[in-house]
Amino acid sequence: MNFELKSLSLAQASELAVDALLVLVPDAAPNDRASGVCALSQLILEVSRCGDFETDLGKSLACYRPAGFKATRMVLVRAGDGSASSVRKAVAAGMAGLKLPGVKKLGLVLSLLPKGDASVRAAMMACADATYVYTSTKPSAKARTLQQVVVGVPQAAQAREGFAVGKAMVTGVEFAKEWANRPANHATPSMLADAARKLGRQPGFKTEVLGPKEVAALGMGSFLAVAQGSAEPLRFIILRYNGAPRSQAPVVLVGKGITFDTGGISIKPAAEMDEMKFDMGGAASVLGTFAALAELQPAINVVGLIPSCENMPDGLAVKPGDVVTSMSGQTIEILNTDAEGRLILCDALTYAARFKPRSVVDIATLTGACVIALGAVRSGLFSVRDELAQSLQQAGEQALDPCWRLPLDDEYAEGLKSNFADMGNVAGRAGGAITAAKFLQKFTAELPWAHLDIAGTAWKSGAAKGATGRPVPLLLQYLLNEAAAQRTGKAKAAVPARRKPV
């Protein structure tokens, strides 16, 4: 889908030659002096005065072949205070009111909104989300018919930055959705590696893919243990984007890439096991973020690490009670083979240290406990680095992709103690999202590290089943904020941990 940014007054919007107009009307309704006398301003005034256009956020009024307009269809929708969150809700409601199969070119009129990059970006994201269709393995699905969206704003020059970020976010989110939505036999570790290689052809990018022999040579015994039960060979994907001088330390993103999770010997119940194709949502979000970086080319260095494999229960599979040695040299008693994500991430986190990063953020559909704690609204955030946690939270709020910080008190690690290894890989049900994060913390040493548990936010179940593309917006906004801080010389290293990893 192509987006085009244009300066549009209400009068110019009335003359826009498109299949449909979606006009956002904030609480401060136009008046004759402010908007001039034109077909659109008069229509908004009249329907508001007579009560046909309700005032609550998201309320809409649809018109077919309205007099004085070139557009065949038009939907007016209330945008509340015009904030980014209100705009997102308004566009979602307005898109539902359009007869989309007949709309190839849409005019998205934001000319009445307060100036702001955030509202432009939110409108574009909502428009793309409302029209997204997965077709890769479903040829009977009706592909997206909307091909072009003209985004009308009061002054295009003042909205170009938000527009560019919006375009990149749409690209990144849809890239992540595509790979997370694919069935496991269409998104194997080798296929993910091929997708990463294609990204690596972009200017400033480089991709390296390691197989089982190279991973074994690195001593990644924990990662190898998870992969050994599958006929599909593991892949360790290393993506690099170099947008800044080599002297600048990179941000490292680590994405969990379990392309299918049966639970292994600790096998999952059959009901809804198909959704375990989404267990590579962290990997998909890293790929999506790199796809967005390719469009924006910001001045920052980023490394993406994706340990990818299947978790299967064949005769070679790791068993409960087995002890493996991680790349860090620490031994792990695998008490539950369904707690496999942390086993592949821990070796990737150890590997991340070689880049001497300014920060490391791992992203994983890690625990059902996080779904219980936070639902599908916010991703779970864990870090003992206050500045890093605050930066990620701020980025999430800016991008309308929020997270919530949970504790990492040392006492939560007590349940990970083992009689037969340096640690167990589980610590019981209580505080499961926290104890999983405490396990990962053992492999971060003095790294400025944060963990995002996206088990509740990476996909939707039920009739709307499908990937969300989160937290690509959060990650991209965080990277853009870091790039801006480095550019202005305000970048600071993350503050030291207040307590040592346990």
Q: Which residues are catalytic?
A: 268, 342
Q: What φ, ψ does residue 492 adopt, rounded to 5°? A: -125, 150
For 482, left (φ over 0), alpha (ψ -120 to 50), or beta? alpha
Residue whose C-alpha is closest to residue 360's, from 211, 489, 478: 478
166 in Cβ contact with 4 (< 8 Å): no
128 in Cβ contact with 1 (< 8 Å): yes
Residue whose C-alpha is closest to residue 267's, from 303, 212, 342, 317: 317
- The one-letter amino acid code at 280 reads M
Is 34 in a helix, a strand, or coil?
Answer: helix
235 in Cβ contact with 312 (< 8 Å): no
CA distance 441 to 468: 27
Helix (H) or strand (E) holding 235: strand 235-242
Q: Look up residue 154 and give its two tokens.
A: 């009061």
Question: Concatenated DSSP letters for 344-390?
Answer: HHHHHHHHHGGG--SEEEEEE---HHHHHHHTTTSEEEE-S-HHHHH
CA distance 458 to 207: 25
Q: Estimate to the nearest angstrom the gap between the alpha carbon of 349 and the chain centroid.
A: 20
**E runs forming strands in 383-468:** 403-405, 423-424, 449-453, 459-460, 466-467
CA angle 291, 306, 501 (to 5 degrees): 120
Is 112 in a helix, a strand, or coil?
Answer: coil
On the CB side of 346, how many CA atoms lie within 13 Å of its CA?
Answer: 33
CA distance 332 to 418: 8
Residue reference for tokens 């991430």:
345
Residue reference for tokens 């007590």:
414
Q: What is the 3-state secondary structure (H, E, C) of 110-156?
A: CCCCCCCHHHHHHHHHHHHHHHCCCCCCCCCCCCCCCCEEEEEECCH
Cα 75 to Cα 67, 91, 336: the distances in Å are: 14, 10, 53
CA distance 394 to 335: 37
